[in-house]
Amino acid sequence: MRLGLCLEMALTSLPFEDRVKTAARLGFKNVEIWWVDSVFKGTPGQLAKLAQDNGVTITNTVINSPDGSVASGLTDPRKSKDAWLKRAQMTIDYTKAAQIPNTIFLTGNRVPDLTDRQMLESVIEWTKPVVDMAEKAGVTLLLEPLNDKYDHPDHWLTSSDRGAEICRKIGSKRLQILFDCYHMQVMEGDLVNHIKRNIDVIGHFHMAGVPGRHEVFTGETNYPFVLGQIEQLGYQGVFGLEFAPSLNDEVSLTQTLAYLATKA
């Protein structure tokens, strides 16, 4: 299994460029960032060169925020789409220019005076034009369900099955889901069966320990077993580590790589 590291949650005491170098030194061939105008201040070309010089691939960026505070949420059809579409186009353009294959987006929160059906229809309506952007750019959109119990109160999309349903309904190879095992263990459990029935539209994975979102070897999830099951399904993509180390970062990441190399 190809592993990746989210540089927004680990090695955060270091300048961004040093995070990339340290991740590469520790053995990571893939890394992730969130917003393209956040921790890295350079051009797409400079970001691509930083990755190339360190022998890593940056696998993902992120368009908006879980609660819709950045670029709006997608659940309220009464809002203007302008901020969302402008942010999506900017992120997709940057992502393509930086030679990054994927970008993540979130639905935003529930809207108290709308029905679930109205919010679903709005999410689909607001996603379609961005899928068109992604198809033209050759970038894959990753729709991520989150947990609303601990980390993202009131978040609308909390089910991998519903995320997969949205992807299938829109029907583009450039729209897949990001299956975050931390979030989905909190919300659904039964990880392997959820993954098996939705593997056709899963484009990326994340992991963190449950509970706490710390090291993957200290929680209730048997990640070596989960990774082995995913490999048997023929998944060829990256499985990203997105957790907050509770130990020294380098110690934590070294122990994590050793743990994930074992077979359940």
pLDDT of 128-180, one tens digit each?
Answer: 999 999 999 999 999 999 999 999 999 999 999 999 999 999 999 999 999 99
Distance CA 190, CA 188 (A): 6
| Cα within 13 Å of Cα(45), Cβ side | 0
pLDDT at 38: 93
Q: How do residues 41-52 score in pLDDT, each as one tens digit?
A: 999 999 999 999
Q: How do residues 184-236 score in pLDDT, each as one tens digit?
A: 999 999 999 999 999 999 999 999 999 999 999 999 999 999 999 999 999 99
Closest to 47 in 3D by CA, of 101, 12, 105, 99:
99
Closest to 135 in 3D by CA, of 88, 81, 198:
88
Amino acid letter, residue 208: A
pLDDT at 264: 46
- CB-based burial of residue 232 (10 Å sphere; 0-12 exposed, 13-18 middle, 19+ buried)? exposed
Distance CA 217, CA 225 (A): 12
β-bridge pairing 2-6 and 30-32? parallel
Q: How do residues 74-127 score in pLDDT, each as one tens digit?
A: 999 999 899 999 999 999 999 999 999 999 999 999 999 999 999 999 999 999
| For residues 50-61, average pLDDT | 98
H or E element at residue 162: helix 160-170
**142 φψ region: left (φ > 0), alpha (ψ -120 to 50), beta (else):** beta
* Strand residue runs (E) in 125-198: 140-143, 175-180
